[in-house]
Amino acid sequence: MTNQTTENPRGPQQGDGIRTVTSGSFSELVLEGDGPVVVEFMSYGCAYCRVIEPVLQQVAEIVKSEERIFRVNVAVERELAGSYDIQSTPTLVMFLNGREVGRVEGPNPTVASVLTAMTQAFGS
C-alpha cells in the first residue's frame, strides 16, 4: 500500500501552500497538469531543506494563482527521485504542461532567488 502523504513533525506547517506528491499522484498532478508546476525534491533530514522551507512557503503564496508548487520527499520516494536523477536536496524541477523545462539545485534561500529560478524556466 502506498502512503499518499508522509509527513514529519518538522515538516509542513498549518496553512502549507505546498502539497506533497507521491509516485501514486505525481503523474496526475505534475505530468498531466496544465501550465507551470514546480516540484521541490527534498528530505526532512536535510538541514538546507529546512532552511529554504519558509522561503518556498512565501514564494508559493506569491505565485499561487499562476504556478503550483509540490514537494517530493526523496527519502520515501526514492524511485521517483531516481527517475529524475535527483543528486542533491533541495532540487527544484520546473514543468510546463507536463514537460521538464528547467531545474536548480539548492537555490539561495531568498524569495528573490527562488522566484528568479522558477520564472526563468517558464520564460516569464
Candidate list 22, 25, 29, 46, residue with the active-site label? 46
pLDDT in tens, 63-101: 887 889 999 999 999 999 999 999 999 999 999 999 999
Cell of 92: 527544484
Instruction: Exactly one of 49, 52, 114, 117 is catalytic; name it.
Output: 49
Q: Domains of the chain: which residue ranges?
A: 19-121
Residue 107 — pLDDT band, cuts 50, 70, 90? Answer: confident
Q: Is 49 known to be catalytic?
A: yes
Check if 61 is active-site: no
Give alpha helix (H) positions in 1-124: 23-26, 47-63, 78-83, 111-121
19-121 fold: Glutaredoxin (3.40.30)
Which pTM value belongs to this model?
Answer: 0.84
